[in-house]
């Protein structure tokens, strides 16, 4: 372990975070219920689901529910997505004026087709003029509220954007930059390119050493975070799929960063690493469900439908049997959950490696879905921009963000 340079607290504008770990925004996952649960295990930056800027400005009901923060969540971090500099600036001004969040993040990293085919997410930085206009407008609109960005390496290996985007974001005055070491084409396949993160760290520090760079990709356990920091010299890490069904990972991460800082020994950090028996996992699932009930305004049935997608992640590696897994995937109420849990052995020990490692579907590299002719030029002409605005308007009116 390299303990010669203790890590500094993570500074994002005027905000300071003792533990340099961020929960990545994940659609349908990082609502206030899951953020609250993760906070109960460890410290860090806990960011909302991606919020469509146009839907926010238009105050669609679904979006107004998604931007809820519990009173215990402080500071409050919200991620916005969009393709129009004016709409994004309007959304940022709304967040600031109505005190909806303490930190705003912009999404330039989403690889899913419904986003990239509209020119958004990880496709957008290819259009340098549009990317610069969005970031500059958002930073101005944010004022004293820290504004950060998340991005990927680029569209594919032949169309990388992270270095140019990093320079433009640093020059615009963002408060932090996070890089996922994959392209849109990679989706979640293969290994994350930590060398690209190291390159961005060096580039941004030469531009503005006050802007922290965070690394994202393949943080499956606490040791991975330390390895990333030491490999890239990044200022912090972003955790996404690694915490699915493992909210206690934030406790593990807090322990290793405190050990690296010399506040506890490495042996103490190892002792604090979670190895939950099955009963502890069941308690976490029930707590998660209770928080979802609160999030859904007391609607227990809705909360139980939502928790179903987490079940395979929570019980990964545990020998609970196929019948139990199928029952959990169809849980209908807390009472029903208790009945299922009653058939399980709470003393079953942590399965170790079987419960660890990658979670979620990695898939294979795939050709990104992009607007027609998107890669022909690094600039966005008026016809292309009009098409983007039309697509964004349609999405806001149908999905509500």
Q: Are 39 and 139 members of one domain?
A: yes
pLDDT tens track for 337-360: 999 999 999 999 999 989 998 887
Domain range holding 381? Answer: 11-274+369-392
Cα–Cα distance measured from residue 310 to residue 207, given in angstroms and rounded to the nearest whole number: 41
Residue 7: per-residue pLDDT: 59
Average pLDDT over all residues of the chain: 93
Specify if 229 maps to a domain. Answer: yes
Specify if 206 maps to a domain. Answer: yes
Reported residue count of the chain is: 401
> Can you tell me which residue has the tokens 């990388």?
160
Specify if 397 maps to a domain. Answer: no
Predicted confidence band at 399 (pLDDT cuts at 50, 70, 90)? very low
Q: What percent of the chain has pLDDT over 90?
A: 86
Cα–Cα distance measured from residue 231 to residue 84, given in angstroms and rounded to the nearest whole number: 36
Residue 389: per-residue pLDDT: 79
CATH number, domain of 233, equals 3.20.20.70
Residue 115 predicted with pLDDT over 70: yes
pLDDT tens track for 66-114: 999 999 999 999 999 999 999 999 999 999 999 999 999 999 999 999 8
Q: Are 270 and 295 members of one domain?
A: no
pLDDT tens track for 204-254: 999 999 999 999 999 999 999 999 999 999 999 999 999 999 999 999 999
Q: Are 208 and 309 members of one domain?
A: no
Q: Are 217 and 94 members of one domain?
A: yes
Cα–Cα distance measured from residue 244 to residue 287, given in angstroms and rounded to the nearest whole number: 15
Look up residue 189 and give its DSSP letter.
Answer: -
Q: Are 187 and 320 members of one domain?
A: no
Q: Are 269 and 287 members of one domain?
A: no
Specify if 212 maps to a domain. Answer: yes
Q: Could you confirm whether 243 is annotated as catalytic?
A: no
Does the reported pTM lie above 0.75?
yes
Specify if 401 maps to a domain. Answer: no
Q: Are 122 and 48 members of one domain?
A: yes
Our count of domains for the chain comes to 2
Q: Are 123 and 213 members of one domain?
A: yes
Active-site residue, from 110, 234, 304, 380: 110
Phi, psi (5° rounding) for residue 157?
-65, -20
Specify if 364 maps to a domain. Answer: no
Q: Are 239 and 100 members of one domain?
A: yes
Tell me the helix, strand and coil percentages in the chain, rounded to 5.
45, 15, 40
Look up residue 354 and give its DSSP letter.
Answer: G
Exposed, middle or buried by CB within 10 Å (0-12, 13-18, 19+), for 42? buried
CB 252 within 8 A of CB 42: yes
Q: Are 237 and 322 members of one domain?
A: no
pLDDT tens track for 262-307: 999 999 999 999 999 999 999 999 999 999 999 999 999 999 999 9
Q: Are 229 and 294 members of one domain?
A: no
Cα–Cα distance measured from residue 41 to residue 239, given in angstroms and rounded to the nearest whole number: 14
Q: Are 183 and 292 members of one domain?
A: no
Residue 167: per-residue pLDDT: 97
CB 136 within 8 A of CB 390: no
| DSSP three-state, residue 96 | helix
């Amino acid at each position: 372990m390299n303990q010669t340079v203790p890590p500094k607290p993570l500074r994002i504008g005027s905000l300071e975070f003792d533990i340099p770990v961020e929960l990545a925004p994940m659609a349908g996952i990082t609502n206030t219920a899951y953020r609250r649960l993760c906070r109960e295990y460890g410290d860090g930056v806990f960011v909302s689901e991606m919020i469509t800027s146009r839907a926010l400005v238009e105050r669609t009901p679904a979006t107004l529910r998604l931007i809820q923060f519990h009173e215990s969540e402080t500071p409050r971090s919200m991620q916005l997505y969009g393709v129009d500099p004016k709409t994004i600036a309007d959304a940022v001004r709304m967040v600031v004026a109505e005190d909806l969040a303490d930190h705003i993040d912009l999404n330039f990293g989403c690889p899913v087709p419904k986003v990239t085919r509209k020119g958004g997410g990880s496709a957008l930085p290819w259009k340098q003029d549009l990317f610069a206009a969005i970031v500059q407008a958002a930073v101005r609109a944010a004022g004293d509220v820290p504004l950060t960005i998340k991005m990927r390496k680029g569209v594919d290996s032949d169309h990388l954007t992270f270095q140019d985007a990093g320079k433009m974001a640093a020059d615009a005055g963002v408060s932090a930059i996070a890089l996922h070491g994959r392209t849109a084409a990679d989706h979640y396949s293969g290994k994350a390119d930590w060398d690209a993160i190291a390159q961005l760290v060096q580039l941004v520090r030469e531009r503005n050493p006050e802007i922290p760079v965070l690394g994202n990709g393949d943080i499956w356990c606490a040791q991975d975070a330390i390895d990333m920091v030491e490999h890239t010299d990044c200022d912090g890490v972003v955790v996404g799929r690694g915490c699915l069904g493992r909210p206690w990972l934030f406790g593990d991460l807090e322990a290793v960063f405190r050990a690296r800082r010399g506040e506890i020994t490495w042996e103490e950090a190892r002792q604090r690493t979670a190895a939950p028996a099955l009963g502890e996992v069941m308690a976490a699932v029930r707590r998660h469900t209770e928080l979802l009930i609160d999030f859904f305004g007391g609607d227990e049935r809705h909360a139980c439908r939502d928790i179903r997608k987490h079940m395979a992640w929570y019980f990964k590696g545990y020998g609970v049997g196929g019948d139990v897994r199928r029952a959990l995937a169809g849980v209908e109420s807390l009472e029903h959950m208790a009945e299922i849990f009653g058939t399980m052995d709470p003393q079953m020990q942590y399965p170790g490696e079987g419960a660890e490692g990658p979670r979620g579907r990695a898939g294979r590299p795939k050709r990104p879905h992009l607007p027609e002719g998107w890669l022909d030029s690094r600039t966005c002409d008026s016809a292309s921009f009009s098409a983007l605005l039309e697509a964004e308007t349609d999405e806001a009116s149908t999905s509500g963000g």
